[in-house]
Amino acid sequence: MISIVTRCDICRTPSGPGLVEGDYGYRVTPVRSLQPSDADQLVQRVVDQLIGDAFVNPLVNPMVDQRLLRDSFRATNERAWVADEHKQLTGHLYGAVLGDRAGERAVWTGPDGVSFDDDQVLRELHRTALPYWRSTGAREHFVWCLSEPTRLEPWHALGYTLAAVRGSLELRARATREFPDGYTLRRGTIDDFERCLKLDEILDTAQGVDLRTLSREQRIADREELFETLSDDECHLYVVEHRGRIVAQCVTFPSPQRRGSFDHTIYLSEVVVEPHHEHRGVASALIDAALSIALAHGFGYVETQWRLSNLRATLYWTNYGFSPTYVRLRRALEIS
């Protein structure tokens, strides 16, 4: 069973500088709130970091609209922090506090939301941000970090664990695999919603979700989100039928602009095959067909996500040709 998860990631600053041991004792690492005047330095830090990411992984897009990014740093109304050593910024940390349809709140930090010159700078930024994030009612913090061991280690030291992977693949013309006899592909419609919802439950189970633990609010939220996705004109639902019954599906839509992703990227989501129809080549033929159509419509890259708890998905997507670019790290904010 293939499964991808994509559910269509001002308080007072605590006093007390961080102390970093050096050759001649200790140096002070002061952390303060982000000011509009910091924008130019932060833009340069983000640009340099993305260039470094792209050097390590060519599937990362190093291009950034510097003017737009500068304006966003100047206008942000979310609390953010910088490490300032004698007017030279050595790091920054920003997290957007977002709520889902079920009312759960979490903090999300993207690739442009954090930088740090050394591990101690990150620790001080993190120590400063935690009380504020907790005060918002957020229960978790998610960070998108380059899939590179040296980038992950500082977060592991702060108690973060790997949760999911963003995989990318450059689209190129290639032969598509044929469907097994008796299986047919067609474009799905909103009329297929109820069947897609059932397949969605198979997907959740494969991702390690215990459906019995889902609250009524969560079930309603999942239902509304799937309905909204399938109702979007830019969303393409593909279903595979066997003897008139839908046994597999996937969804594609133009990927929203996000740091590190190339323009003209298609997003692949909700890929699932009913268990009784696995290991027959249905999934690969389905994905081949969806990506071939995307390529014909001018898309040059495809991205998807999978949870690390789903080992089968990890093996499938890497064998298909997807390469990890960024990983999503998670930490519960209740951890002291």
Is 5 part of a structural domain of the chain? no
Task: Give the pLDDT of residue 335.
Answer: 60
Among 132, 167, 202, the domain-final residue is 167
Q: What is the distance between the alpha carbons of residues 4 and 17, in angstroms, rounded to a whole number?
A: 42
Is 311 part of a structural domain of the chain? yes
Is 178 part of a structural domain of the chain? yes
Residues 153 and 255 in one domain: no
Average pLDDT per block of 10 residues along the chain, 336 residues long: 39 36 53 95 96 96 95 88 94 91 85 96 96 94 96 97 96 93 96 92 75 74 83 94 96 93 96 95 97 97 91 91 97 80
Residues 175 and 322 in one domain: yes
Maximum Cα interatomic distance, the chain, rounded to a whole number of Å:
76
Residues 101 and 224 in one domain: no
Residues 162 and 189 in one domain: no
Letter for the amino acid at 295? Answer: L
Residues 163 and 265 in one domain: no
Task: Give the pLDDT of residue 211.
Answer: 67
* Total count of domains within the chain: 2
Q: Is 181 left (phi over 0), alpha (psi -120 to 50) or beta?
A: beta
Report the CATH number at residue 237: 3.40.630.30
Contact between 250 and 238 (Cβ < 8 Å): yes
Measured from the Cβ of residue 9, the count of other Cβ atoms closer than 10 Å reads 19
Q: What is the pTM of this model?
A: 0.84
Range(s) of the domain holding residue 24 = 18-167
Task: Give the pLDDT of residue 217.
Answer: 78
Among 167, 198, 229, the domain-final residue is 167
Q: What is the distance between the alpha carbons of residues 34 and 74, in angstroms, rounded to a whole number?
A: 9
Is 130 part of a structural domain of the chain? yes
Residues 161 and 308 in one domain: no
Is 104 part of a structural domain of the chain? yes
